[in-house]
Amino acid sequence: MPQLVFLPHQELCPDGAVLEAEVGETILNVALRNGIHIEHACEKSCACTTCHVIVRDGFDQLDESDELEDDMLDKAWGLEPESRLSCQAKVVDCDMIIDIPKYTVNMVSEG
């Protein structure tokens, strides 16, 4: 069973976390199931960037992002080459290290 290592985030998981994940489950669902409340303003429909994460290790094993996800990511704060929307990135059979950015852009609340 793959493990997702969430690096410490000041508000969401100050001590970091090591979580068990099922292959095929989204990174966001793993986090939410374990009490890491990553924002997801569009309710996981790939219509915002609030669930943006950076996959520090294991990125190359993920399925490639599609065009819609790439278009959304272009609007994310702190975009990096290993950025993904956690509602779209599905766990594969390898451990991953996940970094939750300090800020998000919520077009709904920030208009």
Are 6 and 100 in contact by the 8 Å Cβ rule? The answer is yes
CA distance 19 to 35: 11
Torsions phi, psi of 55, nearest 5?
Answer: -90, 95
Domain boundaries, the chain: 3-106
Are 30 and 4 in contact by the 8 Å Cβ rule? The answer is yes
In CATH terms, the fold of domain 3-106 is: Ubiquitin-like (UB roll) (3.10.20)
pLDDT in tens, the chain (111 residues): 999 999 999 999 999 999 999 999 999 999 999 999 999 999 999 999 999 999 999 999 999 999 999 999 999 999 999 999 999 999 999 999 999 999 887 655 444
What stretches of the chain adopt beta strand conformation (E)?
3-6, 17-20, 52-57, 83-85, 96-99
